[in-house]
Amino acid sequence: MTWRGALLTALVLSVSLSRIRPSAAAKASANITAVAEQQKMALVTKPSSHMVRTFDITLVTIATYDRMPLFKLLIERWQGPAVFLCVIEGASQKERPKWQKALHKAAGKGRLKMGRVYISPTAPDEFPINRFRNMAISKVATSHLFYVDVDFVPSATSYQDAKQLLLKNREYSQDRTYAFVVPAFMYAGSCQDVKACLKQFGDEIPGTFPQLMSQVQQRKSKVMAFGSKSAAQDSTDYDKWMSQGAEEVRPIECLSNLRYEPYVIVRKSDLLPSFDERFTGYGKNKIQWIVHLRYLGFKFMVLPQVFLTHFPHPPSDSKNSWDSGHRQRMDKLYLDFLEELHMLAVNRGTKLQIRLCEEASGTPEEDEDSPMIIHEDGR
């Protein structure tokens, strides 16, 4: 494993969560306390600009302990600064040394400021995913951050390439209202558990743009999609991306639908919103943040030849609980959230910088007098 140039910060936390009723999900953060071994950490949920010190990109990710092997794969690719938060459920005092040793081994001995994150067993649909995201983001000390789910593997030189592109395009990267899209792909494969997946596909995830193009032609990799559609990613326009110049940063002029949910590199500033902590478990917890960026007037630019690949793995417990009533709760919360954003935008006079394309199908045109809506089959 190569660690040169990497600065990896782990959040050192001791967390106690009691079982939370769905109706009380918004109060989850009140049950969280944190103590650092080497330094005390304020539980800041609003990204703070005063912490920013250098022009750089920090990758941010979180994972439950069972997905630690995926973190190892991710961090082998990303050679820049990173903030990692590992959540361990149900670990007893006697088991804690084992978790410490495993974390050290996965992250690279001597390179990880060792931390511990323990929570009591929590129902999948009550898992405070956005609370943990905010806690991790609060520790970013560079000009830009790149939140990535732990099951997405960056291209081999993604850090170096993305940083150079942002440096060459300072008119955009110094503007806090630009988000830089890193296209996402999905590797086609299935397996029984994470370890089996790593053994079967660990060496197959494309690392370079030519390797990715070869796999796309062989239909091993495809545009990241949810279900049978790619609505969550297709506004990136992958046909244009595949022929995009190696130094061309391309603006997204309009959206093909309202379900766009890209992974983006953004500037850390007081304008950057937190993830809404009312969203728990699986579903709607990341798209709400992307939509919030749009309502704050963010513009989206697509980076060339930098990409992510979703690593195959069995569905999580949170995803399995999606259709057990949790989906209806999150759908309703999401619609309420959109109404809130719309009213805030009206009161502030904020204009959406990216609107629906005229040829967008299956979604009604949005206007300034009505909030966005979501498809009934949308995630």
| 12 located within any domain | no
| 235 located within any domain | yes
Do 64 and 102 contact (CB within 8 A), yes or no? no
The upper half-sphere exposure of residue 227, i.e. CA atoms within 13 Å in the direction of its Cβ, equals 7
Which CATH number covers residue 104? 3.90.550.10
User: How many other CB atoms sit within 10 Å of the CB of residue 109?
Assistant: 8
Task: Write out residues in the chain with pLDDT < 70, as ranges.
Answer: 1-53, 91-118, 120-121, 223-232, 315-324, 359-379
Tell me how far apart the alpha carbons of residues 379 and 225 are, in angstroms, rounded to a whole number: 11
Do 199 and 210 contact (CB within 8 A), yes or no? no
pTM: 0.80
| Predicted pLDDT at 276 | 96
| Predicted pLDDT at 345 | 86
Q: What is the dihedral of CA 71, 77, 82, 83, to 10 degrees?
A: -10
Do 114 and 12 contact (CB within 8 A), yes or no? yes
User: How many other CB atoms sit within 10 Å of the CB of residue 270?
Assistant: 10
Tell me how far apart the alpha carbons of residues 349 and 340 are, in angstroms, rounded to a whole number: 14
Place of tokens 């660690």: 3
Domain count along the chain: 1
| Predicted pLDDT at 105 | 64
| Predicted pLDDT at 109 | 45
Q: Which runs of consecutive H residues, i.e. helices, occur in the chain? A: 68-77, 96-107, 129-137, 158-168, 170-173, 194-201, 209-217, 238-242, 287-295, 317-320, 327-348
| Predicted pLDDT at 169 | 97
Do 89 and 65 contact (CB within 8 A), yes or no? yes
Measured CA to CA in angstroms, residue 58 lies from 158, 223, 266, 268 at distances of 12, 25, 10, 10
| 376 located within any domain | no
| 40 located within any domain | no
Tell me how far apart the alpha carbons of residues 48 and 145 are, in angstroms, rounded to a whole number: 12
Do 28 and 277 contact (CB within 8 A), yes or no? yes
- Backbone dihedral angles phi then psi of residue 231, each to the nearest 5 degrees: -60, -30
| 6 located within any domain | no
Question: What is the C-alpha radius of gyration for the chain, rounded to an integer number of angstroms?
Answer: 20
Measured CA to CA in angstroms, residue 148 lies from 2, 123, 133, 183, 303 at distances of 20, 23, 10, 12, 15
| 373 located within any domain | no
CA geometry: angle at 190 spanning 185 and 196, to 5°?
110
Q: Which residues pair with 13 in a beta bridge?
A: none
Domain residue limits at 206:
54-356
| 25 located within any domain | no
Tell me how far apart the alpha carbons of residues 134 and 42 are, in angstroms, rounded to a whole number: 11
User: How many other CB atoms sit within 10 Å of the CB of residue 12?
Assistant: 19
| 142 located within any domain | yes
